[in-house]
Structure 1
Amino acid sequence: MKKINLKIDQKGAALLIGMLCMASLVLGQSATGIDQATSEINSYVDPVSNLIIAIGAVVGLIGGVRVYIKWQSGDQDTQKAIMGWFGACLFLILVGVVIKAFFS
């Protein structure tokens, strides 16, 4: 009876050692993949951030024209339109800056 338990313990120890060796190989490969993915994402950060800032500038220009048209027509919601468009532009510009700061 004791011999059976000894064989199970030896098999369990061999299995554990084998799993540890495989885990170290897998972790070594995943670190290389993570480093490669990080460098690839960092290469996209500047163009995406600049694109977001450019979209914010275009939205700001279009919003300025719309607010000017409302103001010239005597609309009472001019202040609400100004705050809405200013908030949208500020959000887009801040997102571009935060993306650069987070990934750089």
Structure 2
Amino acid sequence: MKKLLVVFLLIPATAICQPGITEMQEARSDLTQSFFSARDLSLVIAAILGIIGAVRIYHNLQMGRERFTSEVAAWFFSALFMVLLGAFCQAVFGI
């Protein structure tokens, strides 16, 4: 009986503790003030990663290294991750 009473007393406390719409709007306004656009920032970082990766792969090719496919994949997917991260932040926070 005591356990049931404790459960019923704790249910409203957990419902109040959940973050709501006002907290998401506050986070959105904070992020909007900090960045000009998360998508633009991620595209700039992805472009920088792409240029650095292309130069490193070109250098490896000129040095005669035959096995650099893993490095190509690593640079490609890091740039792709940055592009998707910007789209994700824009979708979640609307910035």
TM-score range normalised by the length of the shorter chain: 0.5 to 0.7
Q: % of aligned pairs identical?
A: 27
* In structure 1, distance between residues paired with 2:24 and 2:40: 24
RMSD over aligned Cα atoms: 2.7
After the TM superposition, which of the residue ranges 59-68 and 72-81 deviates more from structure 2?
72-81
Q: Structure 1, unaligned stretches of length 5 or more? A: 1-26
Partner of 1:43: 32
Partner residue of 1:94 out of 45, 61, 84: 84
Structure 1 residues 73 and 46: alpha-carbon distance in aligned structure 2, compared to 1, 3 A threshold: same
Structure 1 residues 32 and 55: alpha-carbon distance in aligned structure 2, compared to 1, 3 A threshold: closer
Partner of 1:52: 42
1:67-100 deviation line (CA, Å, top 9, x unaligned): 0111111112321111110011111111111111
* In structure 2, distance between residues paired with 1:69 and 1:91: 24
Where 2:66 maps in the other structure, the secondary structure is: coil
Q: Runs ≥4 in structure 1, deviation > 3 angstroms? A: 31-36
Partner of 1:73: 63
Q: Structure 2, unaligned stretches of length 5 or more? A: 1-15
Shift of 1:33: 5.6
CA contact (8 A) 2:57 2:71 kept: yes
After the TM superposition, which of the residue ranges 71-80 and 37-46 deviates more from structure 2?
37-46
Higher RCO, Cα 8 Å, sep 6+: 2
Partner of 2:8: none
Letter in 1 for 2:90: K
* In structure 1, distance between residues paired with 2:21 and 2:93: 19
Aligned residues: 75
